[in-house]
Amino acid sequence: MNLFDSLENQNKQVPLAEILRPKSLEEYLGQNQVVGENTAFLNLLNSGRLFSCIFWGPPGCGKTTLARLIATKTSSDFIELSAVNSGIKDIKECVEKAKENLRYNKKTILFIDEIHRYSKTQQDALLPYLENGTLYLIGSTTENPSFQVVPALISRVQVLMLKPIDDENINSIVEKGFKYLSEKFGAIVLKQEVLDFIVKYAAGDARLALNLVENSYFAADYKDAKKNLTLDILESLAQEKRIKYSRQEHYDMASAFQKSLRGSDKNAAIYWLAKMIAGGEDPRFIARRLIVCAAEDVGLADPNALNIAVNAHKAVELLGLPEGRIPLALAVAYVADAPKSNAAICAVDEAITDITSGLDYPPPMHLRDAHYKDAKNYGFGVGYVYTHDNPEYKQQFMPDELCDKKYFKE
Which domain CATH number covers 297? 1.20.272.10
Do 199 and 255 lie in one domain? The reply is no
Per-residue model confidence as pLDDT tens for the chain (410 residues): 444 444 445 556 889 999 999 999 889 998 988 888 888 888 888 887 889 999 999 899 999 999 999 999 999 999 999 999 999 999 999 999 999 999 999 999 999 999 999 999 999 999 999 999 999 999 999 988 988 899 999 999 999 999 999 999 999 999 999 999 999 988 888 889 999 999 998 989 999 999 999 999 998 887 766 788 888 888 888 876 656 666 778 888 999 999 999 999 999 999 999 999 988 889 999 999 999 999 999 999 999 999 999 999 999 999 988 999 999 999 999 999 999 999 999 999 999 999 999 999 988 888 888 888 777 777 888 888 889 988 888 898 999 899 889 999 86
Single out the residue in 127, 161, 195 at which a domain terminates: 161
Residues composing the chain: 410
Of the residues 237, 271, 294, which one is the last residue of a structural domain?
Answer: 237
53 lies in the same domain as 125: yes
Cis before 322 (ω within 30): yes
In a domain, 397, yes or no: yes
368 and 391 housed in the same domain:
yes
For residues 51 and 40, give the distance between their C-alpha atoms in angstroms, rounded to a whole number.
12
- Residue 159's DSSP bridge partners are 54
Same domain membership, residue 151 and residue 64 = yes
284 inside domain? yes
Give yes or no for a contact between 92 and 127, defined as CB atoms under 8 angstroms apart: no
Number of structural domains (the chain) is 4
Instruction: Tell me which residue range forms the domain holding 269.
Output: 247-337
Task: Return the number of other C-beta atoms located less than 10 Å from residue 298's C-beta.
Answer: 28
DSSP character at residue 298? I
What CATH number is given to the structural domain containing 218? Answer: 1.10.8.60
Q: Is residue 135 part of a domain?
A: yes
Q: What CATH number corresponds to the domain at position 110?
A: 3.40.50.300
Query: pTM above the 0.85 mark?
Result: no
Do 213 and 183 fall into the same domain? yes
> Distance between the two ends of the chain, CA-based, in angstroms?
86
Strand, coil or helix: what is 56? Answer: strand
Q: Is residue 12 part of a domain?
A: no
87 and 147 inside one domain: yes
